[in-house]
Amino acid sequence: MLRVLHLTDPHLFADPEGALRGRATLASLSDVLAHYAAGAWRADLVVVTGDLIQDDSAMAYEHFRRLLGGLELPVYCLPGNHDVPNLMREAVGKPPFFYCGSVERGNWAVVCLDSCVIGEAGGRVTASELARLDKILQVSRMEHAMVCLHHPPVTMGSRWLDTVGLDNGDELLQRLSGSERVRLMIFGHVHQDYDANHHGIRIIATPSTCRQFTPRSDDFAVDDNPPAYRRFELWPDGGVDQELVWVSQT
């Protein structure tokens, strides 16, 4: 079995006190990691689905490296619309960090995709990213696959969020369902819980490690839900167990 710790949207600042809508993001990520460390459940690897930082600074990535490095696990990262690709690649391009990497373990292929469009909040998975994914799946002997990206491949029923989603989500889903091996897609960006099946694929968003957005809101709005992370257990027969963990502020 492959155990994956899913973290997303930490939105760190160079300033350790930096806050997103009133919540200090570094302290919030630290609380999440402390909660994980204090529990009995252990991950084999970590996936972080973008928006690692908020202020375009190399120092914010340094904070990320320091905190996540403490886990002593492989950390698979992909960019969100708030990331700075060249700074991020520099910060998380070497083991134990991986930038848009992939890994095979326990009959599962885990593939991180880049869905960002420079200068835009919404995203798109380019033909070259799709070709990279196809190639990985073609040569992989793993029977099941989890695809990770920043932007939601489906609409969220939230007017403002759905204007900054994934341009070609439907095309992506149809293509992935055609592969008959992609069982699960995970994403961030929406700062809220989401779990549904589309085209035979389980599609799951994990809330942010800091501030959450109000689900189904027409206009931008944040709510008082605490930081969160998700535990995945991926079974060799393709089964998926998961648990969303809310971390109350201390």
Report in angstroms how near the CB of residue 83 gets to Fe ion at its nearest.
10
Q: Helices then strands (H, E): number in the chain?
A: 6, 16
Comparing CB distances to Fe ion, the nearer of 21 and 216 is: 21
Comparing CB distances to Fe ion, the nearer of 33 and 116 is: 116
Residues 15, 19, 23: CA angle, nearest 5 degrees: 140
Comparing CB distances to Fe ion, the nearer of 59 and 222 is: 222
Q: Is 9 in the site for Fe ion (CB under 5 A)?
A: yes
Q: Which residue type occupies 245?
A: V
Comparing CB distances to Fe ion, the nearer of 15 and 171 is: 15
Report in angstroms how near the CB of residue 211 gets to Fe ion at its nearest.
9
Q: Which stretch binds Fe ion (CB under 5 A): 9-17, 55-63, 176-184, 193-201?
A: 9-17
Report in angstroms how near the CB of residue 2 gets to Fe ion at its nearest.
26
CA atoms within 13 A on the CB side of 108: 24
Q: Which stretch binds Fe ion (CB under 5 A): 8-16, 137-145, 157-165, 232-240?
A: 8-16
Report in angstroms how near the CB of residue 106 gets to Fe ion at its nearest.
29
Phi, psi of 135 (to 5 degrees): -65, -45
Report in angstroms how near the CB of residue 81 gets to Fe ion at its nearest.
8
Query: Which residues in 26-85 contact Fe ion (CB under 5 A)?
Result: 51
Comparing CB distances to Fe ion, the nearer of 9 and 114 is: 9
Dihedral (CA of 128, 133, 138, 140) sign: positive
DSSP states of 12-57: B-SSTT-EETTEEHHHHHHHHHHHHHHSS---SEEEE-S--BSS--
- Which residue's entry shows tokens 């700074």? 87
Q: Are 64 and 83 in contact (CB under 8 A)?
A: no
Comparing CB distances to Fe ion, the nearer of 83 and 129 is: 83
Q: Which residues bind Fe ion (CB under 5 A)?
A: 9, 51
